[in-house]
Structure 1
Amino acid sequence: MSIPCGHRYCVNCVKNCWDQKGLMGDCSCAQCCEAFSQKPAPQKKPILAGIMVRRLQEVSREVHTRRIFKNEVQIQPHCVNGTEKPQSTAPQVCPQHNMDVEYFCVVDNCCVCSLCILEEHKNHEMVPIEKDRAKQERQLEVKQIEIQHKIRKKQQKLEDMKWTVKFVKNSARREAGKCDRIFADLIHSIEKSRHELNEMIRAQEDAIVKKADDVMGQLEGEIEDLKKINLRLRQLSKTDQCHFFQNFKTLCIPSKGRDLPKLPRSVDGSFENFSRELFSLKQQVDKLLRRALMKVTQNAGKAQIYSVTCPERIRRETFTPYTFQPTLDRNTLQRKLWLSEDQRMVTLGRESWPYPSHPERFDQLHQVLCIESLSGARSYWEVQWSGRGAMIGVTYKSIGRKGAGNDCSLGRNNKSWGLWCSGSMYAAWHDNQETKIAAARCHRIGVYLDYPAGTLAFYGLSETAMILLHKFETTFIKPLHPAFCFFYHYPGFYVNFDSSITICQLSQSAQP
């Protein structure tokens, strides 16, 4: 660029110089000191500008060629085997100016060189590539972590769905087998009754036929006797008078036949009532089956939702530092519950025990609490159950004791948490809310209470595995007592007597 006095300067340099002098009112040439009344506009010399641009392009091409040659030399050893396609390490070049790109234009979303900044990308927001690359790589790492987390979550959901499908197939096969066995028993019972009924009908048939045979034999004998008399009478009419009168009175004496028994004409009378009852039973069975199938069809789209998760396996040794053995409280024992001498096992019996009255005793529900109160620490204990089913849980001491309402029942109020265990299902209960759980049956249950964290977890224990069944997460506000129950609020469910719960002896014991 040139100014009116003829001297040439870099356009940015002369502008910066005049801008600084303009603050003091001075605007002159730096070489000849010619002063100007006002700041002159720099004038572009096309010939000189063209020469400078061409020279810059030649220099950039030379630098670019040397870089490419150097990169090819570095890459060549990696291409000897030909097993991998090498990635070029050469820097990107501006296609317009043949210079290395050093900036990223945020406005046009492209990489540019230093000359592009002075021309078509002038006054655009620029970011140095190396600096922004490091920032973008950090964001890329964060994004990769997020994607990996999403992948793990999707994989977990996939495993859960596979577990759900497996459980559904097993439960469907189990229910189909159960129905087949019930129908087989029903068919066997019907076939047995049919066979017995046919035997009874044949027995009555034989009895009536035998009597009829006796009567027919008697009648045939009497007919033969009458035929003989009739023949003698016919012969008597042809004899002389003396012989006629001598034998007439003897042959004309009427013979007395035996009375014949009355026989039924069919067996309908004996089985008429039974046939009516059997027909009525058939109608009732058909009606019940249609009703049951209709309910199954209606509920097909309203299937019970289970908590189905891929089993989380835990190491049992994790809970060793927190193990302890609760002690069953005699004063809370319902009267149909029998307590062992060491207060570690409770059994549901048929007869009531003469326990003394106590305000903390459950009077109706088959429940019992433990003496120990748990708060401010972590605790772990194990329970073995047997029989039809049992509820294992914890509760505040303020749970109701009198009556059979929800305020007294373990898991049916906001004061207690429990896990119902039976041969057919698991169900977690709290505040009268039920969560059914799909898992393999275990008769040994581990209970882990982390009071400060507000978690209560139940684990199914076997010889080879420890599987998480359900975890409650809440905030405990009072001390908790381990509690047990033999009653379950479920239609059609009846608890077997002689069910029992035993608090297991663990290898290491530490009181909470």
Structure 2
Amino acid sequence: MYCLVSMTTKIATFIDCAGEEGFCFVHRLFGEMEALNLSCAICLDRFRVPVTIPCGHTFCQDCITEHWDTKSKSDIGPHCPICNEEFPIRPALKRNVSLSVLSEATANSAGASGRDTMPVMKGDLAKTMSLPLCDRHKKPLVYYCKNDNMCVCCECGISECKKHETVLVEAEVKSRECLLRRKNVEVERCMEETEKSIAELTENIAKAQVTLQQTSHWVNAKFSMLLKVLAEKQECTENFIEQEKDASLVEANTRLEELQERAQQLRERQVQIAAIRNLPDTQLIQESRLVEVPHMKDIPVDVTPNLQERLSGVTDVLSRISKLVSEDLVKAVSTAVGQDKQSSPQDKRPVLAVVPSPAAPFHPAGKEGLSEYRCTLTFDPRTANAHLLLSQENRRAEHLTSGPRSVTAHNARFDHTWQVLCFQGFRHGQHYWEVQVSKPWAYLGVTYEGIPRKEKGKRCMVGMNELSWSLQLDERQLSAWHNGRREIVAGNSNHSRIGMLLDYEAGTLTYYGDGQARLHAFHCAFTQELFPACWIGEGVCVTLCSP
């Protein structure tokens, strides 16, 4: 490279002296020599005993030998001066016969025409002469010293960076551009993950708002049944709920703002990288060292309000007070007075605990009082287990004793559980329906849509998981089930017709037996759409009664 700089200086002096004619001569000579490509990249002169190394590049035998000898003194192994490919051992040098013949023929031709040979530079002369100059030696900065992290000229490389690891500026630029591309890919990946987190957090915030609102409605419905003496506590609890709602959403929105700010930072880093890539080589090398991919902590995107859990003590007290007022007091008054004919079914609906409560006493509800809540239901064939046969316009389900029938596979179907859901679901309001059972071997209830459908075992049965509630009909007794927990229901177990009253806002599911006798009730702060469900034993027929 030192030869390259010296030759550049000499050529520039020659052009200054010879003027335009000298410049044309140099330009033509360089074009001819470049076209023949007969110059050594180390000495920049015509090949003298050309040899080719394993990477494919060719040099003078003496030049490449001297280059490797110099590098070995600095504990640098043999490598190609052009492409920097390293070799485990010094390669054996073999003469390039074809290039030798061509070089000699070109030299003879030049001598015959009376022209003197002239050193040929590798690459574009203008580019070489336009390189920034060293402040001390006023020579082009053609090397990059990796130890000092700076560009140096030939003299600096010989005098000060002799034992340092140096490469051509052009090679270092390529290396830095590759590094910037990798950093840009990493920034883009972080940007994609951040945008995904923003979308997920936004969706979870919306779901949390619905859950919090439904919880608030449930608490308000409970308080509305109590006496005026509880008004002060109701206001206190409502204020607490609002604070919790605000606190939960404020925290979630704060995380959302952090993610959006992170996205902005990543966008700015992309702009910075793009600007650096357009800088001159030396500035690109310097500025690229300052580019760092931001190290950011993970920001959770889940929004899980624990309002119901924190209010569990309040709801437990409210449930016991409600039972005392709405059930025990009604029973005591009915026993003492001996009449309960004027009361409406709405007045007698129990308000019970989140877990199944003790069965309510038998009270005739009256068909007239429930008729306004009656609804029409049909079974959903997509959910019916293969052992169940639907008929009567999907209002009757029979468990076949002959074995399973051939059915089409469907994501909604219960594969191993003798169960079927109704088409109709409820998100609000009051709804009443009746079911006729041929013999007492069934589970009747409601479930969220997310109930397991493909597993084996009892977890898919209505009432055996946290997503569903059911009443088990058995010849010996009735049992209430929720989340796999069982509670015995007192009273007569022989009922062929079961009525079910769902009050979504109040969170109650009440069962009525033959003669409209109230059997049992569940209570929960419902948060999702509820679907009527039936588990049907072998040989049993279940029919949805017409309104």
- Shared fold, TM over 0.5: no
Q: TM-score w.r.t. structure 2 length?
A: 0.35
Give the structure with higher Rg (CA). Answer: 1
Q: TM-score w.r.t. structure 1 length?
A: 0.37
